[in-house]
Amino acid sequence: MKNSIYIFSFLWCCTLYSQENSIRKINWVGQKKMDVTFMAHFIQSKEGEALDSTKLNYDIQALTRLNGITKATYTVEKQTENDETYEITFSLIENYTLIPNLSLWTTDDTAAAYRLGLYEFNLLGKNITIGGFYQFNGVNSYGLQFSAPYLFNENWGLETSVQQIGSIEPIFFNNTSAKYEYTNKAIELLGVYRTNFKNTIKIGGSLFNEKYTYINGATNSEIPQDFTIDKILFKINNQYDNLKYEFYLVEGIKNSSYFQFVTQTNTFQNEFLIGWNDFVYLKRYGKTGNFGTRIRLGLASNDVSPFAPFALDNNINLRGVGNIIDRGTGSFVMNTEYRYTLYEKKWFVLQSNTFIDLGSWRKPGGNWNDFVASENFRIFPGVGLRFIHKTFFNAIFRIDYGIGIHENGAKGLVFGIGQYF
């Protein structure tokens, strides 16, 4: 009997304790398009569970990464003096997420290259992205994309895309070069799994066809002038994201790793492995200063081929270097910049940007010394501007001007949407 009383008393005390400092209700303020049920499943804090400030801070960080939310805060209110339950209110400022896309740039082969697109980044208020684009840079290109990282629940989703991408590509061999028209037709499907609120894994693959057509330049009997290759690509991506957002200002660490295996149907190119890692560090200084650096290291199977997978150009790694200047089976790039707010008024922000980009690469069939060889090393300091809309998703128009300080260094303007990294 005495033991039964002890057990009953213990269970009663546990019940009372569980009712203390618990969340009675979660409210949402400022919600317009975001789906409340989706957000309630997405966050770690739950009604009826214990109040945990660590979880609440994690929830704020996770919510501000959703495409549809530009800023999130929370308040905690005790129900009554004699009641140890609390009401949580999340206050949101939402993004506009139906965004047209327009990019303009110049190439060696056309005076005005452009891309037109339209994307919805928060379909149904559930962080679903759907959209497409048309591009002309001397070759017609198009693409369609669907991404639903939380399609099945708060941790499981998928991504898929269909695209035909074309370009005029320089090919380098025997200290000479040639120009080819390159076309890539691909369909891709990836499974997405969020292991926790900071880490996401994507696994899947794509079927694609590559076509090369010779235009002009040097020729070689061992390099075909017209050929088509069917390929299968298997990939796994892992992303660790611990960035904290305050509108356009960002602080924290992000690391993304990519590994791919490619097999094909022809004997001209071998099967190959390729992998690269992007490490990003961002730090705020004062109210509007933002320092950032990105270190990218990539390696691929070291085959002797003019069609090596890593390319050095403006849009990928070195601002000011121009169109693709060389290819390699290894790549090291470090981008460092400091962004500073020059003007801010309600929704509009004008930022200045000062940067230094540097990089090197390993020649196809080369060795590790290629990374430190002076002829493979490039340094590009420069300046730029950012035109930012604070409540449109990724509405950052950037323009940078880089100058190569090596011998016979190139220079030029680089335009784009979104921060460079």
- CATH number of residue 27's parent domain: 3.10.20.310
Band (pLDDT 50/70/90 cuts) for residue 305 is confident
Residues 86 and 102 occupy one common structural domain? no
Q: What pLDDT shows up at residue 410?
A: 79
Give, as one character, the DSSP assignment of residue 220. B
Q: Which of 222-231, 235-244, 268-277, 404-413 has the highest mean pLDDT?
A: 235-244
Among candidate residues 72, 94, 116, the one where a domain is terminated:
94
Residue 266: its H or E element: none
Higher pLDDT, 258 or 325: 258
- Asked whether the beta carbons of 48 and 40 are under 8 A apart, the reply is no
Q: What is the mean pLDDT of residues 215-231?
A: 86
Residues 59 and 39 occupy one common structural domain? yes
Look up residue 137 and give its two tokens. 């840079």
Instruction: Flag whether pLDDT at 267 surpasses 70.
Output: no
Amino acid, res. 257: S
- Asked whether the beta carbons of 177 and 183 are under 8 A apart, the reply is no
Mean pLDDT of the chain: 88
Residues 29 and 160 occupy one common structural domain? no
Amino acid, res. 166: G
* Overall number of domains in the chain: 2
Q: What pLDDT shows up at residue 82?
A: 73
Distance CA 115, CA 225 (A): 28
Residues 104 and 186 occupy one common structural domain? yes
Among candidate residues 57, 72, 94, the one where a domain is terminated:
94
Q: What is the mean pLDDT of residues 214-240?
A: 90
Residues 76 and 181 occupy one common structural domain? no
Distance CA 289, CA 408 (A): 33
Give, as one character, the DSSP assignment of residue 151. S
Higher pLDDT, 304 or 188: 188
Band (pLDDT 50/70/90 cuts) for residue 111 is low
Range of the domain at 221: 98-417
- Asked whether the beta carbons of 162 and 146 are under 8 A apart, the reply is no
Among candidate residues 38, 68, 94, the one where a domain is terminated:
94
Amino acid, res. 251: E
Amino acid, res. 360: S
User: Each residue of 58-70: pLDDT tens digit?
Assistant: 999 999 999 999 9
Q: What pLDDT shows up at residue 177?
A: 84
Look up residue 370 and give its two tokens. 């290629």
Q: Under 8 Å CB-to-CB from 384, ≥6 apart: which residues?
A: 319, 352, 353, 354, 355, 398, 399, 400, 401, 414
Residues 149 and 239 occupy one common structural domain? yes
Look up residue 175 and give its two tokens. 């200290």
Residues 82 and 133 occupy one common structural domain? no
| Dihedral-angle region of residue 287 (phi above 0 means left; psi in -120 to 50 means alpha; beta otherwise) | alpha
Band (pLDDT 50/70/90 cuts) for residue 123 is very high
Residues 206 and 296 occupy one common structural domain? yes
Residues 74 and 104 occupy one common structural domain? no
Q: What pLDDT shows up at residue 8?
A: 45
Distance CA 339, CA 287 (A): 12
Q: What pLDDT shows up at residue 158?
A: 97
- The enclosing domain of 188 has a CATH number of 2.40.160.50
Question: What Å distances lie between residue 114 and 89, 266, 403, CA to CA?
Answer: 44, 33, 24
Distance CA 69, CA 63 (A): 7
Higher pLDDT, 3 or 356: 356
- Asked whether the beta carbons of 376 and 370 are under 8 A apart, the reply is yes
Q: What pLDDT shows up at residue 108?
A: 58
Distance CA 349, CA 390 (A): 7
Cross-sheet strand order for the sheet of 83-94? 22-29, 83-94, 69-80
Q: What is the mean pLDDT of residues 116-125?
A: 96
Neighbours of 157 (CB within 10 A): 22
Residues 80 and 124 occupy one common structural domain? no
Give, as one character, the DSSP assignment of residue 370. G
User: Each residue of 132-153: pLDDT tens digit?
Assistant: 999 998 899 999 999 999 999 9
Q: Which of 186, 116, 196 minimizes the C-alpha distance to 155? A: 196
Indicate the SS3 state at residue 60: helix
Residues 137 and 38 occupy one common structural domain? no
Residues 86 and 120 occupy one common structural domain? no
Distance CA 377, CA 371 (A): 7
Neighbours of 114 (CB within 10 A): 13
